[in-house]
Copies of this chain bind each other. A is one copy, B any other.
Amino acid sequence: MSVRKPVRVSRKEQKVATRARLLDAARACFRDRDERDVSIQEIAAHAGTSVGSVYVHFTSREEMIAGVVSDIHSELLERMRDALAGQTERDLAEAVKGLSHHYLGILRGLRPYLPLLAIHSARTVSVDVLRVGGATAPLVQMLNATLASLAVTTRIRGDVGLLSAGLASLWRGAAISAWSRPATDEALVADALADMTLALLERVAPGALEADAILMFRAMAQFLKTPASSSRSSPG
């Protein structure tokens, strides 16, 4: 019979827990609202802590917002990965259609946070692309890797980086378009998105549509499995 030790929460564990609570509170406050209308006071109150405590965990308001965005983004990637990994259709045209429906469904779930994601990604694009160089969004990287692997067996017309950027924008654009329509249109948008994707794919990678969708989507899921740097794990 073992003697149960009293539960001891270390300072470090406490710190991680408070940080997570603050991120959750911020996320709740950002739901359906313009991020600029949310004060640090409100977030601190929601988390049951003080404004001072916010600045123990985040060097700035921006850093806290980045943490919330990173959490939402990880969720989006995880659900995309599950959709890709769970895919059982061999025919690429059908599989792309299935994926576009999945994608819009995932975005529907995150809809209250999409303004926050859009603004943050515009900032990231500005800063990263214009100053540091290179598209760093995981979905673009995944498309890049997929097209590069397609290039082994099919003839790719043009530049893999550009095609990836083009496809990623197309999906983003369709999503924006879907938000402005009644929810009942979602299936229509998903079909159109798949159709446009296939048109581009046929043009830029002739023969690509003969690829085995299960193998291809599995490789894409594998790519997204690379753990994104989680905002939760670095409390300092």
Contacts and interface: CB of A to CB of B under 8 A. Distances in A.
Interface of A: 34, 111, 114-115, 118-119, 121-123, 125-127, 129-130, 133-135, 157-159, 161-163, 165-166, 168-170, 172-174, 176-177, 179-181, 188-189, 191-193, 195-196, 198-200, 202-204
Given A119-B122, A169-B170, A170-B173, A114 B130 contact: yes
**How many chain copies?**
2
Given A135-B176, A161-B177, A166 B196 contact: yes
A175 B119 CA distance: 18
Nearest to A203: B199
Contacts of A125: 118, 176
Contacts of A173: 165-166, 168-170, 172-173
Contacts of A189: 159, 162
